[in-house]
Structure 1
Amino acid sequence: MNEVEAVKTKDDIHMVSRLLEKHGSSDYRDIWELGINAALRISDLLSLKFSDVEGLEVLNLVEGKTKKVRSIKLNSKAQEIIQRRRNDNPADVWLFQAKGNRARSSEKAIDRSTVARKFKEIGEIIGVQLGTHSMRKTRGYAMWSDGVPIEVVCKVLNHSTPAVTMRYIGIEKQDIHQSYDDYVL
């Protein structure tokens, strides 16, 4: 399995959104943006139904991978995405419902592999190893680079230790070296 990266600048984060919509659809853009804002794994994100999230400020769920309980504050951007998707798709059951011919006959969520392919395609355009984990990694890296303590980032991502979080979000030697220039005392 290829290692995927965080998108490390806000301009690039917004560029990924624009490219996902341009080369895919608003569905992929919304998956990207909600994934970044909620810091959910793709499997948990794609398993959400409108009935799970509508009208909520805090989403409580059991993670599929870890079976840990998570409480996620749905920020204004997340709530905006959910409301827009409901307005645009009033008959859908799934927050990210598949729209293909085969999917029409039965209500299904968008498939993880479909999202992974689209993310990889956009990653090739911008020169980043982009995948479905990139959403969580991007949120974690953005928080850390804005000065949020690594322990808080660790809790947001539901990791067991800050060391796991540092590896996960891709804090690299160049980031550590930059700190010597940033903090001349």
Structure 2
Amino acid sequence: MNFVQPIRDVEAIVEIKNYLKDTNERDYVLFVAGINAGLHISDLLSLRVGDVKGTHIEFLEKETGKLQRRAINNTLKKALNEFVTGKPDGEYLFKCDQNGKRSSTGNSPMDIKMVFIMLNRVARRLGITDNIGTETLRKTFGYHLYKQQQHSLWMMKEWFHLKSELEVLRYIGAIDDLERNKHDYVLDL
């Protein structure tokens, strides 16, 4: 079974962001939100403009039914501010039409399949060969949070609804990294 992977390479993340910013503002903001907030894709797609106007994203988590809050960092805030200007609070943040573009009429969100197709199209266009899926956004968030702040495992365990810190490491791809590099570890006493 092939599991989807996080995007480990920061340069690849920048390349994807630049490509999306130049080609599709909605997809750019979706990507930035996905890798900076770590929400499950169904929660991300259910967000409305009013949910992201403050300092936190507030949403009812589909998996648990609980109200959740996630801080909005500077990168995400900048992308959101430009994107939501002039839009009503009740509008879905990531609207679509039949062409997968932002719709000016109606108010239906993108579906998960559309996001999957978009992410894979962009990844292949940019030469990324890892298995990419909608969970890639959330895994990328977790992977880079772990790399920057290893003490955050307990928090990710709660966010991702996993039973152990080992499951978190598996989910975000850190175990794969250890397996791939295990022959490089040397103890020199």
**TM-score normalised by L of structure 1:** 0.82
1:113 matched to 2:116? The reply is no
| Amino acid across the alignment from 1:97 | K
Taking structure 2 as the reference length, the TM-score comes to 0.80
Out of 54, 57, 62, the residue aligned to residue 55 of structure 2 is 57
Q: Which residue of 1 aligns with 2:12?
A: 12
Which has the higher mean CA deviation after the structures are superposed, 38-47 or 102-111? 102-111
Taking every aligned residue pair, what percent have the same amino acid on both sides?
24
Contact 1:122–1:130 (Cα < 8 Å) also in 2: no
Partner of 2:166: 163
Query: How far apart are 1:66 and its partner, in Å?
Result: 3.1
Distance 1:104 1:2, change over 3 A: farther
Q: Distance in 1 between matches of 2:173 and 2:146?
A: 11
Cα distance change, pair 29–163 in 1 and its aligned pair in 2 (3 A): same
Q: State the Cα distance separating 1:48 from its structure 2 match.
A: 0.7
**Cross-structure match for 1:133:** 135
Q: CA shift at 1:159, angstroms?
A: 3.1
Compute the displacement of 1:34 (Å). 0.8
1:45 aligned partner: 44
Residue 146 of structure 2 corresponds to which residue in structure 1? 144
Q: CA RMSD in A?
A: 2.8
Point out the more displaced range, 130-139 or 78-87: 78-87
Aligned with 2:185 (options 165, 180, 184): 180
Secondary structure at 1:71 match in 2: strand
CA shift for structure 1 position 184: 5.6
Gaps of 5+ in 2: none
